[in-house]
Amino acid sequence: MKPLAVLSIVAIAIVGLFLALNILGKDTDGRGGALEQSTEVDETAIGPAPDLTSSPAAEREIAKLPTADSRSDTTPNGDGTRWNNTLSGVVMNIKQQRIGGAQITLTRAAAASRIFANEAIDRSRDVTVFADENGEYHFVNMEPYNYYMVEAEAEGYSRGAVDSITVGNTGDFEATPIQLTLGALLFGTVRDVGGNMVPGAQLILSDQYHRPGMEITPNMMLTTSDNSGYFEFQSVPTGNHTLTIEAEGYGNMSFGGLVFRGTDPVERNVILEIAEMISGRVIGKTGESVEGAEVLAMSYTNSSRACRDMVLTDSDGAFTLDSLSPGQYTLAVRAVGYRPGHESRVKTGASGLLIQLSPQATIIGRVLANGESATNFKVRLRQTYENNPATSAVGDEIAFENSDGSFMLDSVQPGTYVVQAIAEGYAPSYSDGFRVGMGMPVKGVIVHLTRGGALVGRVLNAQGKTISRPTISTHDNTWANTIFDQALGDQFPTNATSKKRTGTPDGKFKLDGLKGGAYQVRIRAPDYCELILQDILVQDGQDTDLDVVTLIKGGTVTGQVLDSTGKPIPGAKVNLRPDGRTDGLPRNYRSTTGTNGRYRIAGIYPGAYLLSAMRGGRANDFLGDLAHAQDTTQRVSVSDEQTLKFDLKVNN
């Protein structure tokens, strides 16, 4: 749950990050520009993977990556639209030698992970290919998006990535070369306090603390100590990491603040203490056993060392934490239907501990369709705000199937809410608002399903010819398609129904099941400029006819980004933003130069713009990037179906 006040705080907190990613204007149209693909291949730059036989890590077996076609025909949006685009790139080492066979993953995860680092990131739409023998890879037919990230993993190297990659709806796009490094070596031994070696300990190296029971993610590295207690991690990426150690019969231990630079080896010897226990029961307000409660023990001995363990209570509410190093702990307890609880300064060896939780509120109600009980539906809680009609989703949708249309939602925190119901053939429908108090049940909530309204129309080009199978999407009227909006996803504060449909071969479309209100409508098609319509009113029980919608080709701006000596700059960021005020949402475009320093931004809506460039890959030089963008700024007037060429020179 992210209440509006919290979202405001988050928005302020990420302003610096957001500006660094989108200097001189928000990205509002989701198209970006195409990059001219370099077809030159330096045969002398193709070389084998480095020889690691002299490394202490050479004796460890590294899983070989499978070989596969380096070209992937993929549509991450899954709606069947054929976008006329490609994304190409190359993987190389620090000697500029190409790395063949690297596993390449195209993902949208970067945008969300920057903002909500502790939340689960949906990577179900990730697409993976393998680089060919020349280290080259290609993705084909991608939904236009401004914040793609490409990750690369190859045997003997640390994982690498490039992000903020713009892919437009038409053209050839080139990602900044991914440069993989050998990485560092972390090694050491695991012993107990008596000096005895501890074989079989599991060690996890990550850029964040690994909580017991936490899912292992791709950015984590795992190994096990051998019979002599020795362990090692090879190809560790540069940066700060945390090492977590778990071994049967010993207390869990985590060490933060491990800093890796380049290929410098780091030795870290670990001493584990014999595990001690804390046991007890979790009960409710009336003494009932709380089954399935999560009990987490936490202890910080200093700024870099932590001890943790986690278990779930059994049917009697009992728990035993048996992987604790001796000391004092704070126990944090969470359970469905109850407020979180905690106990402080609990010493290991304690038994018979009784932790009582207070119940949270439940919401009980019914969903009706045409006055009759709905039998198959989903419900979701949405938080309301004072003096703001928008609502935000709380938790996930929960499915119900019964004969009386009843539902019950538990674990509801105090606040003001409505219940949203979704059912086949109906628009998302809302209950009246209500207030939830501490632990108090709310009964009699009724949701009446309505059919909602619809949008209909037909899409033609400027010559009056049909545009086949256009993509039409509905959004909140204030949707700006920024990295922040995208990261919020369905938790963006709104009551609008977000839908996306593909039109028919004769350009016709219909989006039904829309909740009444004012909408923003976006219409896209390959080789055309995206059209953004605002203040489109949808009414329950009516079709809003947009009649004929015309798409234009738009203009194109192309050129090269050079340094002060005239040398091309790969990976430079090119921004095109409105010059002055605009009608409706401002249209901002962005691109990244390829290996030859070239950029190409297509599908630009006609108008006056400011074009600028800055060097990429320098996240810590925010002021320098601003200076480059200011120094390179040029005024550009774009007309439909016009191509303009501008070379931009960035000072060293």
Confidence band (pLDDT; 50, 70, 90) for 481?
A: confident
| DSSP element (H, E) containing 459 | strand 453-461
Q: 50: which residues sit within 8 A by CB, 6+ positions away?
A: 93, 156, 182
202 pairs with which residues across the strands? 224, 246
The helix (H) or strand (E) run that includes residue 174 is strand 170-174
Beta bridge partners of 266: 186
Q: Which of 257, 254, 252, 264 is nearest to 241 (CA)?
A: 257
Please indicate whether residue 464 or residue 52 has the higher confidence score (pLDDT). 464
What Å distances lie between residue 608 and 368, 535, 561, 630, CA to CA?
52, 24, 21, 17
Residue 362 in contact with residue 440, Cβ under 8 Å? no
Per residue in 242-261, pLDDT tens? 999 999 999 999 888 888 88
510 pLDDT higher than 50:
yes
Domain ranges of the chain: 4-180, 361-449, 555-650
pLDDT at 295: 96
Topology agreement, domain 361-449 and domain 555-650? yes
Mean pLDDT over 442-454 rounds to: 96
pLDDT at 71: 62
Q: What is the mean pLDDT of residues 401-411?
A: 95
What does the pLDDT look like over 65-109, one tens digit per residue?
333 456 665 545 555 677 889 999 999 998 889 999 999 999 987
- Other CB atoms within 10 Å distance of the CB of residue 233: 25
Q: What is the mean pLDDT of residues 111-123?
A: 54
pLDDT at 214: 59
Q: How far apart are CA 125 and CA 134, in angstroms?
A: 26
Query: Beta strands of 230-275 (E only): which ranges?
Result: 230-236, 239-246, 253-260, 266-267, 270-272
Task: Give the strand pairing for 239-246 and 499-502.
Answer: unpaired
Whole-angstrom distance, CA of residue 295 vs CA of residue 312: 6
Calculate the average pLDDT of the chain.
Answer: 83
Residue 62 confidence (pLDDT): 29
Nearest 10 degrees: Cα torsion 33, 91, 117, 493: 20
Q: What percent of the chain has pLDDT over 90?
A: 58
User: Would you state the structure tokens that stand for residue 304, as one six-digit string?
Assistant: 């870099």
Rounded Cα distance between 126 and 149, Å, is 10
Confidence of residue 28 (pLDDT cuts 50, 70, 90): very low
- 194-227 pLDDT, tens digit per residue, is 999 999 999 999 876 556 555 666 678 899 999 9
Strand partners, 231: 188
Looking at residues 437-461, what average pLDDT do you find? 94
Band (594; pLDDT cuts 50, 70, 90): confident
| CATH code for the part of the protein at 4-180 | 2.60.40.10
Side-chain-facing half-sphere of 284: CA atoms under 13 Å: 14
Question: Which CATH number is associated with domain 555-650?
Answer: 2.60.40.1120
What pLDDT shows up at residue 455? 97
Question: pLDDT tens for residues 270-292?
Answer: 999 999 999 999 999 899 999 99
Q: Which of 503-517, 548-562, 578-592 has the lowest mean pLDDT?
A: 578-592
Q: Does 266 or 377 have the greater pLDDT score?
A: 377
φ, ψ at 9 (rounded to 5°): -65, -45
**Separation CA 237–CA 181 (nearest Å):** 8
**Window from 12-26, 258-272, 322-336, 626-640 with minimum mean pLDDT:** 12-26
361-449: CATH topology? Immunoglobulin-like (2.60.40)
Give the Cα separation of 367 and 292 in Å (integer).
30
What is the distance between the alpha carbons of residues 315 and 555, in angstroms, rounded to a whole number?
Answer: 66
Q: What is the mean predicted confidence (pLDDT) over 403-432?
A: 95
SS3 annotation, 499-555: EEEECCCCCEEEEEEECCEEEEEEEECCCCCCEEEEEEEECCCCEEEEEEEEECCCE
Contact in structure between 97 and 46 (CB atoms under 8 Å): yes
- Confidence grade of residue 337 (pLDDT, cut at 50, 70, 90): confident
The string of pLDDT tens digits covering residues 143-186 is 888 889 999 999 888 888 988 888 988 888 999 899 998 888 99
Cα separation, 376 vs 515, in Å, equals 19
